[in-house]
Chains A and B, each alone.
Chain A
Amino acid sequence: MSDFDAIVVGAGPAGSAAALELARAGRSVCLLERGPTPGSKNMYGGVVYGRILDTLVPGWWEQMPVQRWVTRRSTMLIHDDRALTVDFRHPGWGAAPFNGATTFRPDFDAWLAGLAVDAGASLVCSTTATGLIREGGRVVGVRTDRPDGDLRAPVVIACDGVNSFLAKEAGMYPHTDAANFTVGVKETISLPREVIDERFGVRGEEGVDIEILGCTGDVPGGGFVYTNATSVAVGLVLSLPALAAGGDRPEELLRRLKAHPAIAPLVEGGEVLEYSAHVIPEAGYEMMPELVGDGILVAGDAAAMCLAAGIWLEGVNFAIGSGAAAGRAAAQCIARNDTSAAALAAYRRALESSFVLADHRKLRAAPHLVMGDLAQRGLPAVACGVMEDLFTVRNPEPKPGVRRIVRTQMRRHGVRARDAVREGLRALRAFG
């Protein structure tokens, strides 16, 4: 006897999107959330790319809780006290249909879960799914930490976040390698709106997202800075094994980033509102679990649907895309009264034909490339050195040729030409 047509575990973007699709298909769905409210256990904010919402929530930009619309994206290479920034502005991203936005996840998650509830989903908060209920090898429900907490349904959609215990219990994560994970640490720093506007060169609702390479010392990773309405988020994404093996602590690395001459003027004088940390499934396609089992689907961070490919750092859109696909596939299977793994495989096929798996497969080599030695050390050092030599005027000496400058810098930083060419070709293949 089933209590619901489907159970969705986790009211994050993936879970709420899945519950929304199921409820709209007329299915009874229970959306379980561990926190007291959706998004309550999330880090303060993030950048969300809303194109995926076009079909799910038409006109989403008129109702989504937004801090700022990202109209300026920068990639910064840092070496020692120098920095080289590639800066792109597009005022068009600040108007409908928009592109990306910074948002506070507690607000965003509550909004998306609210849409699912409005569509008919039953949201149950402060309830942890502690395990799966199985019958004859297939998943038929979940156990929760509430009294009389067993809940049964033909389909369980595990959207319980990175390090998914449900997916592991279902045997869908055969191998877990710490090297596939990073830890993100972030400070949210309060600053007056007009100060942010002035420092980042934006106006009104416009916002900035800066991705940084070369700012993590001996630990492979990257950094980021983005603007909220009246705060700035500064953070790092750090390789877990390297962090564990080395002597540097994440907060010390973050302190160094904040003190860098390229970052300090952006955040100085602000008051830290929050320091938080979160594990990130960094390796993308290479670490994805089985997505489909008998009576169970996995979506969002639980399925490693996080794209960490250097210039593209996206997660929420992949979570929503995978969650919505899981919801649609589950609704169709429930209608046909067949929720076996074979029937639910429609979910994987839907992901393969969408950007979710297409992007992950295409960029499968990118995470390792970005975390490699050349991208982490050689590229920022050589790029900053080349820029310094190009723009330092040494009259009465004549200007050196660009090739000579590049060769000199590569030699100085131990980057061999053949390694650079090899990595360049890998990058071309990885990024298509």
Chain B
Amino acid sequence: MIVAACVKLVDLRPGVDRLTGAVTPSTTLGCSAADRAAVELALQLADSWSAESVVVCCGPDRADPVLREFAAAGVDRLVRIDATGAPDSADVAGLLATTLAGLGADVVVCGDHSLDRGSGSVPAFVAGALGAAQALGLVEVGTEGPGTLRATRRLDGGRRERLVVDAPSVVSVEGSVAELRRASLAATLRAGDVPVEVVAAPGLVVPPTVTTRPWVPPTRVQPPPQGTAALERVVELTGAMVERTPPRTVELPPDRAAALIVEQLRAWGYLEAVPSEPATDG
């Protein structure tokens, strides 16, 4: 039996130019607490089922030192799908699914979000591609015999859903599920020589990086408050006691409601006033 953990290694310290939005990558890669919890859970499951543990990631070769930290913690095999840039989640999931199928993974554990955008969609894509059972966003995981998980899933409104998930399965866990064990010093030293199996990613299309300028609100000069006491100045700054037009609710057909909103925005100065119609001679 094989238990696999999928992790996403992201740049921990990208330099972001606050004026241009340009991103400069750093040399420091890492993964989310949820991903680390996934690795720990995979280790626990592998220990309990006498299974082989594998960590799989999709990334560049500078991810290898981070993967070796997982080897120091006790993971049996490290597999990296060779890819650079920021490929689409569905593409990553496809590559992961192909690799996991090749490995013969019975249970796949993922973190429920990564450190960058963290939508948590990859585990669902992987489960779909593998045709495996999926249980996402787990807050508690136990076992009921080899290949079978007893899990608790977080639902809206504070409710919980209890699930029994049989292999083949793909689950994603929150960071609170487990804390990655601290590797021994000897294992940490040995991990430097652990090989990372590299899988090619032919045909992977990495979309070009789009650089956008961060939105910066326009500045305006605010005169300093004139009050002599601190309370007066705070009140003046917050505008708490200033008389203002109360909000009003109107019920109108959509076209008239839109016209009224536009008219009010013009009155407040958010929209330019409509130039007056030139007078025409009769």
* Residue pair A147, B192 in contact (C-beta under 8 Å): no
**Most A-side CB within 10 Å, residue of B28, B184, B188:** B188
* Residue pair B17, A230 in contact (C-beta under 8 Å): yes
In the bound complex, residues from chain A placing their C-beta under 8 Å from that of B182 are 146-147
Which B residue's beta carbon lies closest to that of A32? B185
* Residue pair A144, B185 in contact (C-beta under 8 Å): yes
**Most A-side CB within 10 Å, residue of B19, B185, B189, B192:** B185
Contact of B184 among A122, A147, A192, A230 (CB under 8 A): A147
* Residue pair B18, A124 in contact (C-beta under 8 Å): no
Within the assembled complex, what's the spacing in Å between the Cα atoms of A271 and B188?
A: 40
The B interface is mostly helix, strand or loop, or mixed, namely loop
State the A residues within 8 Å of B (CB).
Answer: 3, 30, 36-37, 40, 106, 110, 122, 124, 127, 144, 146-151, 190, 192, 230, 271
Contact residue range for chain B?
10 to 19
In the bound complex, residues from chain A placing their C-beta under 8 Å from that of B19 are 192
Within the assembled complex, what's the spacing in Å between the Cα atoms of A190 and B186?
A: 43
Assess A148 versus B186: contact at CB under 8 Å? Given A122-B192, A271-B18: yes
Within the assembled complex, what's the spacing in Å between the Cα atoms of A211 and B27?
A: 32
Cβ < 8 Å to A, chain B residues 84-105: none
Which B residue's beta carbon lies closest to that of A117? B192
Contact of A146 among B18, B30, B185, B192 (CB under 8 A): B185
Beyond A37-B28, A40-B28, A110-B27, 7 additional contacts (C-beta under 8 Å) are: A3-B189, A36-B30, A122-B192, A127-B185, A147-B185, A149-B184, A149-B185
Which B residue's beta carbon lies closest to that of A144? B185
Within the complex, what minimum Cβ distance (angstroms) separates A42 from chain B?
13
Within the complex, what minimum Cβ distance (angstroms) separates A197 from chain B?
14
Within the assembled complex, what's the spacing in Å between the Cα atoms of A197 and B192?
A: 44
* Residue pair B28, A127 in contact (C-beta under 8 Å): no
In the bound complex, residues from chain B placing their C-beta under 8 Å from that of A124 are 185, 188-189
Within the complex, what minimum Cβ distance (angstroms) separates A171 from chain B?
25
Contact of B183 among A36, A40, A110, A146 (CB under 8 A): A146
* Residue pair A146, B184 in contact (C-beta under 8 Å): yes
In the bound complex, residues from chain B placing their C-beta under 8 Å from that of A110 are 27
Within the assembled complex, what's the spacing in Å between the Cα atoms of A150 and B17?
A: 43
* Residue pair A148, B189 in contact (C-beta under 8 Å): no
Which B residue's beta carbon lies closest to that of A192? B19
Contact of B18 among A3, A37, A106, A190 (CB under 8 A): A190
Within the complex, what minimum Cβ distance (angstroms) separates A270 from chain B?
10
* Residue pair B185, A151 in contact (C-beta under 8 Å): yes
* Residue pair B28, A148 in contact (C-beta under 8 Å): no
Cβ < 8 Å to A, chain B residues 173-190: 182-186, 188-189
